[in-house]
Amino acid sequence: MLVLHIGWAIGVSTESGHFRPKPRSGEQGRGTLEPMDVLAIAALISHRSDLFSLGWSSHRLRKAVANGEMVCLYPGWFATSTAWQAWFPEERCVAQAIAVARAGHVGDDAVSHVTAGAMLGWPLYGVRPQRTHISGPTRDGNTRGRSLAHHRRPAVTDTIEIAGIRVTNPIRTASDLLGYLPRDAAVAVADAALREVAWDAVSHQYDQTRADAWRSEILASPALQKGQRGVAQARWVTHFADGRAQLPGESVSRLRLHQLGFAPPRLQVPIALSSGRFAYVDFGLDDIDAWGEFDGEGKYTDAAMLGAASTAQALVAEKWREDEIRAITGRRIVRWGMSHIRSPQTLGTRLAQFNASAPLTSRRVTSIGDESRPRRT
């Protein structure tokens, strides 16, 4: 087993108790964030015995859970509702996995599937995990039920260790998820996994050789072989993945553009500004001679991303950036947000507002792989 010390960034505690993650090196201002440090999450989890040592009684603990003051992550393990409400879904998933591991229900097995994805810092777009997923040969009544999902397999050897917890490694985790998740979420996971392998955030360079090697390794994995559930979707998503997408919203935007009939857009297109610096545009939509920009809300509202700037200052700076890009390139800029990528139709409607109609030949959703119902996560 490989012991890997993931480069998690310690988050910054806000007044609400939410530990906001730091931007990745070289990506400040783009809104791509690293997950909270697993150890920082672990520090906010208490066993009932810890609470009893602080003077809590069983009655007080039951009452605190009943009135929403505390949240039971797993029998015997708790977090405050303040922490729980502030955590993103991926962070809640990590917290539950830590509780399960501390309770002794991982052992020689390994955390896997959506839980491993969250532990690796990948986005779970539109997914709200309800259970902690574990893979391995163990078959124990204590590892099944509403809180746990056990995937019975031979001994799992392709693992790493994060904060003392055995987790399936990135290749195994991606292989498990690409045919298991709903398609939108699978694309977001594939792009995030590939970005870690092939994208240099400092130089803004994409290593196609490494990307191709990653793709080959995923396609050769047992989960993507003939007869496996979801294999058609998994193979399609593997080929479709592009590590240049910086956010889950950009990944899903790529999928929507494909469904609308667009040719593959250029991603992170560098534009030389008059200052000598480069602006990087999310999408080069050559079909309609336009630039596309996905706007995440945090870009203008999240204190960690704004830094010393106010929302108004960020909006003005973005307007000046857009004006200069238009003046230099002669191309219009089309913007959309999270609400516009719920379906191909909603994005198509948004584009039409800019007189940027999608190509006439649109692709049916069913043409891109397995459309099976989302599984319980």
Residues 6+ apart with CB under 8 A from 233: 178, 179, 183, 186, 368, 369, 370, 371, 372
Residues 133 and 20 in one domain: yes
Q: What one-letter code names the amino acid at 376?
A: R
Kindly tell me if the per-residue pLDDT of 354 is higher than 70: yes
Kindly tell me if the per-residue pLDDT of 47 is higher than 90: yes
User: pLDDT value at position 304?
Assistant: 59
Q: How many CB atoms lie within 10 A of CB 162?
A: 23
pTM, full prediction: 0.83
Of the residues 145, 168, 191, the one at which a domain ends? 168
Residues 131 and 270 in one domain: no
Residues 20 and 124 in one domain: yes
User: pLDDT value at position 156?
Assistant: 86
Residues 28 and 153 in one domain: yes
Residues 164 and 265 in one domain: no
What 3 state SS string does 51-79 have? HHHCCCCHHHHHHHHHCCCEEEEECCEEE
Number of domains in the chain: 2
> 252, 341 in Cβ contact below 8 A?
yes
Q: What are the tens digits of pLDDT across the range 85-116? A: 999 999 999 999 999 999 999 988 999 999 99
Residues 346 and 255 in one domain: yes
Kindly tell me if the per-residue pLDDT of 11 is higher than 70: no
Between CA 52 and CA 342 the distance in angstroms is: 46
User: pLDDT value at position 223?
Assistant: 87
Which position has the token pair 């964030």?
33
Give mean pLDDT, residues 219-231.
89
Of the residues 112, 134, 168, the one at which a domain ends? 168
CATH number at residue 314: 3.40.960
User: pLDDT value at position 374?
Assistant: 45
Find the domain containing 112 and state its range: 12-168
Residues 29 and 153 in one domain: yes
Q: pLDDT-based confidence at 377, cuts 50/70/90?
A: confident
Between CA 136 and CA 139 the distance in angstroms is: 8
Q: pLDDT-based confidence at 337, cuts 50/70/90?
A: very high
User: In this prediction, what percent of the chain has a pLDDT beyond 90?
Assistant: 67
User: pLDDT value at position 77?
Assistant: 97
Beta bridge pairs of residue 165: 162
Of the residues 151, 168, 185, the one at which a domain ends? 168
